[in-house]
Structure 1
């Protein structure tokens, strides 16, 4: 059977560092616009204990999401030694388009994928460029789509990118806003030769769009002093946590079972970097489905402590860091079975198993 193989990865990690102690100078407010009467230091300490986030990265003022996407894509292209004119598809996952500093408008026309193709200088008209909006699991959904095109013989090389500047839609009067960050990650996915064992071996996805559809959405600032017409990314943290803990482990099991490999063969889980406490609980619940009490040591690489939640960029960035030996006690070896898993606005969940 023909497999889809990752032949190169890349990431753009912004240089601007935003530490936890940089927040709260104007105070935090709740959803009813009431000031939270707790010392900022207490709020920040509790935030760190729950999320694991100590600092995050924000894009420089002169950089937009499509710029970061092009940087990450260039790294993936160079590593894979790909002639850019042979790329069949450019798939860019994002949620808010390009947002310039100090503006309130998102810009997605033309698509970010078209902008990336332009920035890369690709002339080939049959290189099709399009965007995916799927919440935080967008990059992984793009990977799943690319895999289907490759297996169908409709493409041979697909460039899949996740990019986001969440700092520009963050309400800094909302404690939850401290989770979000900026960045971009990319991979080159190619059709492997028949008989090659490595590559994508199974996928799973689901969307729950009734009551769950608006757990993460756009809403008014918590601050009573900001323009009521301006909107920011908003999250019902408790609902998201409960939903993720209930359904993500099931999707992960579905994916692994479809892949036909035993859970003991799983070497790494690249999970969306949203909240360390939640990610730990999801992975533990996943192993419980196989009647295993404790996940293996080092099964879950983490970058959330210093990169925060960069939405669609978290998994491809984490993969790039591990592949290039930039995270302590984490490495990939030929033949390793790894899983990608993500959850986010929609609410959407997906997972993919890959033989490295």
Structure 2
């Protein structure tokens, strides 16, 4: 029996820190026109809801595939697996490499092929796949990787996640303040259960759900809200209220269903690593999940112990949020949060489509050689 085990992790955070006062000089619009409210008021309300105080923007000379490669190198180094032994590269993203002048999306060749090229992997049997699945793309990449490992088509798979959302935001949209740049990466390897003392570890169970009818329009692209701004037609357009309602309706029940199908109680989960989209929404999702288990303690302190957060400092970097948070915890950079051998965690994400997914992962009690 094969267990799909994380053997290495890595991430990349851009150096440039963009604080909320950066947006004081912006002119904000909505569908009706210029917003008749001071930027100070807009930013305060935004911070109260999302808790975002700052975010990271990529240097102008870097591309999405560049930062994916940086995170990949760190994950490979951490795994101690030679790059030529990687059988697949699965790269989660949404916009590809954005041209620095035309602001057009470029995914030919694919981001995964570019990562392979930049890693200088010569192995012709190493196959690059791109995962375009909205913000849940990294978890979906992990799901695909598990299926490939379980089918014995692969032994080691590199899953990268990267996004440069600062290049596709409308500077006249208040939602621009949510988004940020970053990358994460994981090496997932097929490990014989006998070497784990016959304990089922690694990926335990997962599920994905996709609602692509009315929900299809909750996250889209379009021109600027300011009709005079013509820089790019590729701008994130988000219906925040509908996404919030959708998340609270779908995600808690899906996560409980995953736990039930796996025969695991929420009491057995050490950490819940959820996509860092909006602090208010994430808290509400977890509260509803806890209520499904009749938890009596729903105070913020209890939730903060089980659900580590990075959105306050790093914003929403789409596919990169979950693997970045995971790597920070595993590298001891999110204290007092820790993940120890034998711990079981629950990961979840939702995004464009609308797509939602979740995964249970258990860390081996013994170190993988």
TM > 0.5 fold call: yes
Per-residue deviation at 1:228?
8.7
Whether contact under 8 Å (2:221, 2:233) holds in the other structure is: no
Whether contact under 8 Å (2:104, 2:234) holds in the other structure is: no
Question: After superposition, where does 1:200-349 map in structure 2 within 5 Å?
Answer: 200-227=203-230, 230-294=233-297, 296-297=302-303, 298-349=305-356
Residue segments in structure 2 that go unaligned for 5+ positions in a row: 364-369
Residue segments in structure 1 that go unaligned for 5+ positions in a row: none
* Secondary structure of 1:192 counterpart: strand
Whether contact under 8 Å (1:3, 1:196) holds in the other structure is: no
Q: Residue 41 of structure 2 aligns with which residue?
A: 42
Whether contact under 8 Å (1:92, 1:130) holds in the other structure is: yes
Per-residue deviation at 1:224?
2.7
Per-residue deviation at 1:276?
0.3
Farther-moved stretch of structure 1 (276-285 vs 255-264): 255-264
Per-residue deviation at 1:196?
3.9
Question: After superposition, where does 1:74-223 map in structure 2 within 5 Å?
Answer: 74-194=73-193, 195-223=198-226
1:289-322 CA-partner distances (Å, limit 9, x unpaired):
1122435451001110110000000000000101
Distance in 2 between the 1:191 and 1:253 partners?
A: 27
* Secondary structure of 1:3 counterpart: strand
Whether contact under 8 Å (2:278, 2:311) holds in the other structure is: yes
* Secondary structure of 2:34 counterpart: coil
Whether contact under 8 Å (1:16, 1:58) holds in the other structure is: yes
Per-residue deviation at 1:143?
0.3
TM-score (ref. length: structure 1)? 0.97
1:33-70 CA-partner distances (Å, limit 9, x unpaired):
x1111111111111001001000001000000000000
Distance in 2 between the 1:294 and 1:281 partners?
A: 14
1:143-197 CA-partner distances (Å, limit 9, x unpaired):
0000111111111111001100000000011001110000000000001112243
How many pairs does the alignment contain? 355
Seen in structure 2, the aligned counterparts of structure 1 residues 293 and 217 have a Cα distance that, compared at 3 Å, is: farther
Distance in 2 between the 1:10 and 1:159 partners?
A: 11
* Secondary structure of 1:253 counterpart: helix
Q: After TM superposition, what 4+ stretches of structure 1 lie above 4 angstroms from structure 2?
A: none
Whether contact under 8 Å (1:271, 1:341) holds in the other structure is: yes
Distance in 1 between the 2:24 and 2:237 partners?
A: 17
Whether contact under 8 Å (2:97, 2:106) holds in the other structure is: yes
